């Protein structure tokens, strides 16, 4: 391959695009060159967009994917968390509706003796971003230097912040490109994107929460399983103890979807008052994180005893936030009522997520502002009995004109029948290195 800065780089990129388009397996050297040249600007965005589309259709063989992920990690720095003084373990969710687990989980696992260095992002589309939720808290800031992050981990045991510009810069460029070229859904590109950032973060162990269902990024169980297996393989091969839980996302998790609303619900869980489904998923992930970290502790006891709430308050304060400050409140509210009497059998997660997005809680582009106060409250969940005309959802927004679009998104989202829905597990499956792809 040409040296970086060589004018022949653009032609060499075309050769690799053709090779992948035609089904040839790229060598590790070719992959390393391509990623490095792209970060340096020697390979143009339109060329990498063509490569992403070729990968979307052709996939990446395991050796190619290993090389691709390693090259993305090598494009930037890798944090050293050895000074933290505790076992480090993180969690990553593929995103869902009402998925505020991180806000509870990080302080909960820290209260059990681990250090949780959680690098998170902003939301896009119908799934909410962890940073958007926390930015509803007055004074809280997402941007921390590596030194500030390590200090917070040593003092508090947990931190939730944005990834610095030095971590996997190749992923930052490629992610933005995939978002506008219809190549987001490629499993190899999803897996390498997630794992390059998490491995560069420097954690020793990682639990993946791969959502499955209508509100998930990948609604199909088999696709979600393949993604989980692929990410577990990548983590283990890079020396990070990794496992995954497949969890249900046909119905919103908890009762709140929206930034400040989800913060309120997270604090309620930390006070022992939260919804059972959210508590169940959080405790399952906490137990898995502690297992990988080699810590023998009972997360349910840490939650019930108030230790997790103490860590949460300390985490918020360490990042400039006021845990006692009032959260933003929406100016306008409206309800969606049950069309008939019976059992609520279905409340579609994607529809609720899109409604929250249209109310102002989400963004269509990364540059869009979000409303801290907007969102949807689920006043009833599947399995509840409802009367005709009873409020099932409460819509909150700062702008009344947005209610029309939100209501349109909810058309067909509520299903009521003569008997309750069959029980379905929240934690569907656990995937470890023994169940990964060959």
- Reply yes or no on whether 122 is catalytic: no
pLDDT bracket for residue 158 (50, 70, 90): very high
In a domain? residue 76: no
Q: Which of 193, 196, 214, 243 is catalytic?
A: 193
Domain carrying residue 86: 82-325+427-432
Distance CA 121, CA 274 (A): 24
pLDDT bracket for residue 144 (50, 70, 90): very high
Instruction: Tell me the per-residue pLDDT of 387-407, one tens digit each, with 9 for 90 and over.
Output: 999 999 999 999 999 999 999
Distance CA 166, CA 154 (A): 22
- Reply yes or no on whether 197 is catalytic: yes
What is residue 177's predicted lDDT score, i.e. its pLDDT?
A: 87
158 and 291 in a common domain: yes
357 and 235 in a common domain: no
192 and 216 in a common domain: yes
Q: What mean pLDDT is predicted for residues 305-325? A: 97
In a domain? residue 74: no
What is residue 123's predicted lDDT score, i.e. its pLDDT?
A: 77
Instruction: Tell me the per-residue pLDDT of 28-82, one tens digit each, with 9 for 90 and over.
Output: 999 999 999 999 999 999 999 999 999 999 999 999 999 999 999 999 999 999 9
291 to 81, 185, 380: CA distances (angstroms): 19, 31, 34
| 149 has a pLDDT exceeding 50 | yes
Q: Which of 92, 122, 241, 307 is catalytic?
A: 92
In a domain? residue 43: yes
102 and 232 in a common domain: yes
Instruction: Tell me the per-residue pLDDT of 98-136, one tens digit each, with 9 for 90 and over.
Output: 999 999 999 999 999 999 999 998 876 677 789 999 999
| Percent of the chain topping pLDDT 70 | 96
| 438 has a pLDDT exceeding 50 | no
142 and 257 in a common domain: yes
Where residue 348 falls (left for φ over 0; alpha for ψ -120 to 50; beta otherwise) is beta
The CATH number of residue 116's host domain is 3.40.1030.10
Q: Using an 8 Å Cβ cutoff, are 321 and 136 in contact?
A: no
pLDDT bracket for residue 11 (50, 70, 90): low
Instruction: Tell me the per-residue pLDDT of 253-280, one tens digit each, with 9 for 90 and over.
Output: 999 999 999 999 999 999 999 999 999 9
- Reply yes or no on whether 100 is catalytic: no
Look up the pTM and report it.
Answer: 0.94
Q: Using an 8 Å Cβ cutoff, are 403 and 397 in contact?
A: yes
What the block records as the tokens of 48 is 């990498």
Per-residue burial over 376-396, b = 16 or more CB atoms within 10 Å of its CB, e = otherwise: bbbbbbbeeebeeeeebbbbb
146 and 256 in a common domain: yes
292 and 201 in a common domain: yes
The dihedral sign for the CA sequence 210, 215, 219, 221: positive
134 and 186 in a common domain: yes
- Reply yes or no on whether 178 is catalytic: yes
The mean of the pLDDT values for the chain is 93
| 362 has a pLDDT exceeding 60 | yes
Q: Which of 90, 99, 132, 171 is catalytic?
A: 171
The CATH number of residue 48's host domain is 1.20.970.10
184 and 125 in a common domain: yes
Q: Which of 197, 241, 358, 396 is catalytic?
A: 197
What is residue 86's predicted lDDT score, i.e. its pLDDT?
A: 95
Q: Which of 172, 173, 178, 226 is catalytic?
A: 178
In a domain? residue 2: no
What is residue 363's predicted lDDT score, i.e. its pLDDT?
A: 80
Instruction: Tell me the per-residue pLDDT of 333-354, one tens digit each, with 9 for 90 and over.
Output: 999 999 999 999 999 999 999 9
126 and 53 in a common domain: no
The CATH number of residue 338's host domain is 3.90.1170.30
- Reply yes or no on whether 126 is catalytic: no
Number of domains in the chain: 3
155 and 280 in a common domain: yes
285 and 370 in a common domain: no
């Amino acid at each position: 391959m040409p040296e970086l800065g060589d004018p022949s780089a653009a032609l060499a990129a075309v050769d690799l695009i053709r090779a992948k388009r035609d089904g040839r397996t790229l060598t590790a050297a070719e992959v390393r060159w391509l990623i490095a040249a792209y970060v340096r600007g020697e390979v143009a965005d339109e060329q990498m967009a063509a490569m992403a589309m070729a990968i979307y259709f052709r996939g990446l063989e395991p050796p190619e994917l290993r090389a691709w992920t390693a090259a993305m990690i090598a494009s930037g720095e890798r944090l050293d968390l050895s000074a933290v003084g505790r076992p480090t373990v993180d969690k990553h969710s593929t995103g869902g509706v009402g998925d505020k687990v991180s806000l509870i989980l990080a302080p909960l696992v820290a209260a059990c003796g681990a250090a949780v260095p959680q690098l998170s992002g902003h939301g896009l589309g119908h799934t909410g971003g962890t940073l958007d939720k926390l930015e509803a808290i007055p004074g809280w800031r997402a941007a921390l230097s590596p030194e500030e992050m390590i200090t917070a981990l040593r003092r508090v045991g947990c931190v939730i912040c944005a990834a610095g510009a030095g971590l996997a810069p190749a992923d930052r460029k490629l992610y933005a490109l995939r978002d506008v070229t219809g190549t987001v859904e490629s499993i190899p590109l999803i897996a390498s994107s997630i794992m390059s950032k998490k491995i560069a973060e420097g954690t020793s162990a990682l639990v993946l929460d791969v959502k499955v269902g209508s509100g998930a990024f990948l609604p199909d169980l088999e696709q979600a399983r393949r993604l989980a297996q692929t990410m577990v393989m990548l983590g283990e091969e890079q020396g990070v103890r990794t496992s995954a839980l497949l969890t249900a996302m046909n119905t919103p998790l908890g009762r709140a979807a929206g930034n400040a609303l989800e913060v309120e619900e997270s604090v309620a869980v930390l006070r022992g008052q939260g919804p059972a489904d959210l508590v169940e998923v959080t405790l399952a992930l906490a137990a898995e994180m502690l297992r990988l970290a080699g810590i023998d502790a009972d997360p349910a006891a840490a939650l019930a005893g108030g230790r997790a709430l103490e860590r949460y308050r300390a985490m918020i304060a360490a990042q400039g936030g006021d845990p006692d400050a009032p959260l933003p409140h929406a100016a306008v509210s409206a309800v969606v009522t049950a069309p008939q009497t019976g059992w609520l059998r279905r409340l579609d997660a994607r529809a609720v997520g899109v409604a929250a997005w249209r109310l102002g809680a989400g963004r269509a582009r990364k540059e869009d502002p979000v409303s801290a106060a907007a969102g949807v409250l689920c006043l009833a969940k599947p399995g509840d009995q409802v009367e005709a005309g009873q409020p099932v959802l409460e819509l909150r927004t700062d702008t009344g004109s947005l209610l029309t679009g939100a209501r349109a998104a909810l058309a067909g989202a509520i299903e009521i029948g003569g008997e309750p829905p069959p029980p379905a597990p929240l934690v569907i499956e656990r995937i470890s290195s023994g169940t990964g792809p060959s």
